[in-house]
């Protein structure tokens, strides 16, 4: 073979290799890496709506391969431009880890008539347009399965619907225009298929913005028990894609999946769900020792009268304390219940708590003393407990009610009875002019606070069973929730 011919073959081989290689981002920028880790953590690392902690806890390469496989991309385990393009697309906020078309355990409604209520509307469309479009989305399903849907205007419906941006009453805040545009819960008690639309999006009835009919029909599929589909032509494909909605009907893939749960609209009535039976029951909690029933608050988790003793964040998780026990809320693994003295020996009850993130320290208060906990390891720090007076509080304060670190100012607020103090974490000194009146500086809250924590720039203040969302710079209450809302109870 002549040398020129050999070089020609070698060059052809090199070119073929280059053309066959995926479009890899050789060195992902910090933004691209952060985007990918956040996406995988949110949609491939949990079984809830989404992981809002922003912390990646999985195996990056394996989870990336799972994501690429789900979307029918070339499975490389390496970030490339096509993969990043999918990650940047607008989509539903429900995770993609379901293996089939239904949620784990196949939850579904077991009554024939399902009620729904729209509690907050978007301003992009008239209320009549929203009502008609949501009704049209429900009709896509009632045309093919033996369920009927009825809108109500008061009381609690089976499916509660709202339009709101950012924080909106559940632990999964929306992220602004684009990205996650809506999310919904599977059937069942408490959450009951509730459906939320990000009002930072531009909601329309055509191809501009986000088409409400298509997105509502997708989310209501989740509310009825459908998981995401790998079929790009299916309504339940996770990323938003516009199609002409004139005469729109459910795609065949979605019809098959929803009828697998509920049967056909024209099927023998004996195969349809029994009328008026409750949603799937949840597993019963283990039986408590009768002597401990009044003390152990596990059975109060979803009570509308639940009042917290204390609350705080610890490295992205939220801890809520009650009667010597705690609930830990984690965006990935959900709610965990435990006993304070088991986790932190020597501490029986927690009256107040706060995290100082810059110092990797959490302080837990009981009576007239407090402990230091290493936030990352969550272990006790030697040298504690210390008396409240070491914080500069007067000896007349024998117990505090609540405490919170304010990220924006670097101050810690300590609440006791009707007063509060501000401590500068940089100097460990109480700021001049304190104590001050709670009622005066926190209008709408009252004169006494039971627990408080900071989340996404807002203070969440517990007063009895009420949880008040308070915007400190504007000194106003922006919303009222229940404590139990943070424990996956609705």
Positions annotated as catalytic residues are 219
Closest by Cα among 209, 180, 214, 222 to 197: 180
Task: Taking each helix axis as running N to C, give the angle between helix 252-262 and helix 212-224, from 0 to 180 degrees, rounded to the nearest 10.
Answer: 30
Longest dimension (CA), the chain: 99
Q: How far is the C-alpha of 171 from the C-alpha of 477, rounded, in Å?
A: 18
Q: Are 378 and 313 in contact (CB under 8 A)?
A: no
Name the β-bridge partners of 148: 113
Q: Phi and psi at residue 82, in whole multiples of 5°?
A: -65, -40
Three-state SS string across the chain, please? Answer: CCHHHHHHHHHHHHHHHHHHCCCECCCCCHHHHHHHHHHHHHHHCCCCCCCCCCCCCCCHHHHHHHHHHHCCCCCCCCCEHHHHHHHHCCEECCCCCCCCCECCCCCCCCCCEEEEEEEECCCCCCHHHHHHHHHHHHHHHHCCCCCEEEECCCCCCCEEEEECCCCCCCCCCCCCCCCEEEEECCCCCCCCCCEEECCCCCEECCCCCEEHHHHHHHHHHHHHCECCCCCCCCCCCCECCCCCCCCCCCCHHHHHHHHHHHCCCCCCHHHCCCCCCCCCCCCCCCCCCHHHCCCCHHHHCCCCCCCCCEEEEECCEEEEEECCEEEEEECCCEEEEEEHHHHCCCCCCCCEEEEEHHHCEEEEEECCEEEEEECCCCEECCCCCEEHHHHCCCCCCCCCCEEEEECCCCEEEEEECCEEEEEECCCCEECCCCCEEHHHHCCCCCCCCCEEEEECCEEEEEECCEEEEEECCCCEEEEEEEHHHHHCCC
């Amino acid at each position: 073979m002549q040398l020129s011919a050999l070089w020609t073959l070698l060059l052809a081989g090199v070119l073929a290799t280059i053309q066959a290689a995926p479009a890899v981002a050789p060195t992902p920028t910090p933004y691209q890496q952060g985007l990918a880790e956040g996406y995988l953590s949110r949609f491939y690392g949990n079984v809830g709506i989404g992981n809002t902690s922003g912390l990646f806890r999985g195996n990056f390469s394996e989870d990336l391969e799972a994501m690429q496989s789900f979307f029918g991309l070339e499975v490389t385990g390496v970030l490339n431009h096509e993969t990043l393009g999918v990650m940047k697309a607008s989509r539903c906020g429900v995770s993609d880890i379901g293996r089939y078309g239904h949620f784990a355990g196949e939850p579904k409604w077991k009554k024939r008539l399902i009620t729904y209520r729209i509690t907050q509307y978007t301003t992009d469309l008239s209320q009549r347009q929203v009502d008609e479009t949501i009704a049209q989305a429900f009709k896509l399903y009632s045309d093919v399965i033996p369920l009927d849907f009825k809108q109500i205007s008061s009381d609690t419906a089976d499916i509660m619907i709202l339009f709101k941006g950012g924080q909106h009453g559940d632990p999964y805040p929306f992220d602004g225009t684009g990205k996650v545009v809506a999310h919904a819960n599977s059937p069942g008690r408490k959450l009951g298929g509730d459906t939320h639309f990000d009002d930072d999006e531009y909601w329309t009835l055509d191809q501009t913005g986000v088409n409400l009919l298509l997105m509502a029909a997708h989310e209501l599929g989740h509310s009825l028990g459908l998981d995401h589909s790998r079929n790009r032509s299916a309504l339940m494909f996770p990323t938003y894609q516009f199609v002409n909605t004139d005469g729109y009907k459910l795609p065949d893939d979605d019809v098959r999946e929803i009828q697998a749960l509920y049967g056909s609209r024209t099927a023998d009535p004996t195969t349809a769900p029994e009328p008026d039976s409750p949603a799937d029951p949840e597993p019963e909690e283990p039986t408590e020792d009768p002597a401990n029933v009044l003390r152990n608050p596990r059975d109060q988790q979803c009570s509308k009268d639940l009042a917290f003793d204390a609350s705080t964040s610890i490295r992205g998780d939220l801890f809520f304390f009650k009667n010597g026990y705690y609930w830990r809320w984690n965006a990935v693994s959900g709610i965990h219940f435990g006993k304070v003295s088991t986790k932190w020996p020597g501490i029986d009850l927690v009256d107040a708590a706060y995290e100082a993130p810059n110092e990797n320290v959490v302080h837990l208060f009981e009576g007239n003393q407090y402990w230091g906990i290493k936030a990352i390891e969550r272990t006790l720090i030697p040298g504690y407990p210390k008396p409240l007076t070491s914080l500069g509080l007067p000896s007349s304060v024998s117990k505090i009610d609540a405490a919170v670190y304010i990220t924006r100012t670097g101050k810690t607020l300590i609440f006791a009875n009707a007063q509060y103090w501000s401590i500068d974490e940089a100097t460990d000194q109480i700021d001049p002019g304190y104590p001050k009146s709670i009622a005066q500086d926190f209008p709408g809250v009252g004169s006494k606070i039971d627990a408080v924590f900071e989340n996404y720039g807002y203070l969440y203040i517990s007063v009895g069973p009420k949880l008040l969302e308070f915007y400190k710079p504007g000194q106003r209450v922006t919303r009222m929730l229940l404590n139990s809302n943070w424990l996956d109870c609705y």
